[in-house]
Structure 1
Amino acid sequence: MVLRSLNLLTVLLSIAALPHISQSLHFELHSGRTKCLSEDIKSNSMTVGNYTVVNPNEPHPSPQSHKISIRVTSSYGNTYHHAEEVQSGQFAFTAVEAGDYMACYTAVDHKPEVTLSIDFDWRTGVQSKSWSTVAKKSQVEVMEFDVKRLIETVNSIHEEMFYLREREEEMQNLNRATNSKMAWLSFLSLFVCLGVAAMQFLHLRTFFEKKKVI
């Protein structure tokens, strides 16, 4: 049992030691159109986002047609961020509700139609913390920074495991409830079929008796 725990800890530390994976996205949006992106966030988890409309006329100012509106909402419809006709911005909040969070971008309606390029960086959990602003130059402080980062990553993985276990239990309860309902529906269907067959038998028997066939 101890050996198994040590192996699990080794795997978690190996995952934590992997290079940071960027969640930056780049997508295109046409004038007057809306595009939504979703992220599954657990409760009490920190999340930050940065978005920018790429300026096609660098180094000149960005044209007025290159503006967007953004709204970030939870699966329950609560709004956590809202901005109208902006070229860039950011948001940060701690998720109160667990579930899918939606970031919807709407491009300003413009004629003739233009295509906007948008850079979007959305990070949650331990990845949302700007550890790079905390790191120092000395070797001791760098090691301390790495240890803190590993601890935060392991804690995040631990919390994620519990979160996935809760979701798995919810799915198992749903499957059991569905199977129970399907079983009752099958028995009801069988009872109806037997009832209809009995009625047809009695009807045919009465019919043949009247015709004096039997």
Structure 2
Amino acid sequence: MSVPLQPDDPKPPDAETPGISDTPDTSDAPKTSEIPGTPGTYDTSGSTDVPDGADTTEGPDGPDAVAAQRQVQGAVERLLRLQQSRRVHGELMSAARAQVSQPAVILLSRLQADGGLTIGELARRTHMDMSLVSRELRKLESEAMVTRATDARDGRVTRVGLTPKGRGIVRRLRNVRDRHIFEVLSAWSAQELVALGDLMTRFVDDLQSVRYRDADPDGNGGSETTKG
């Protein structure tokens, strides 16, 4: 995983431009257990009990390993709440001089990365519901951030792409985020950055590949189910 060591613009944000608060108000964020595709909320205050039904045939075990896994779980939940916070999103929009919804940011970023996509492709690649994608695209189209065009090779297919206005918003959002991450990681050593990048990449890869286990009626682990 490549960690950006230099932002597009190394200058710090202007004093009147709010940055992303490191202590956001997350009272309006959904509980982690309510976010689809995320682990449930656990008490990570020090329990070293192995979760019921957990597969312990591989990997480290013992109280220290379980406590470390609980610490990871707690950090993931904090990150998810930070990501879902409307206050943090509002600060990002203010700094980027933009006004789009959280789902719209994801759609715009995906269109910037992948080019023209059908609505179905966009829904699959962003893991969003088709109805939500369609609704957000209508808003973005009405604000001249995206445009629809017939596929040159298949007239039956309509593809969505960014307009110059949409690309400009994506650039500003990326610039604000890059500068923020640069400041967050400015005190980290190169070795720490490499280790973080490697471990984060491995964690996300494993998170995508390991399936959820259904709980049996007694609350214990059961059969595996595929993640969404």
TM-score, L = length of structure 2: 0.24
Counting helix residues as a fraction of each chain, which structure ranks higher? 2
Counting strand residues as a fraction of each chain, which structure ranks higher? 1
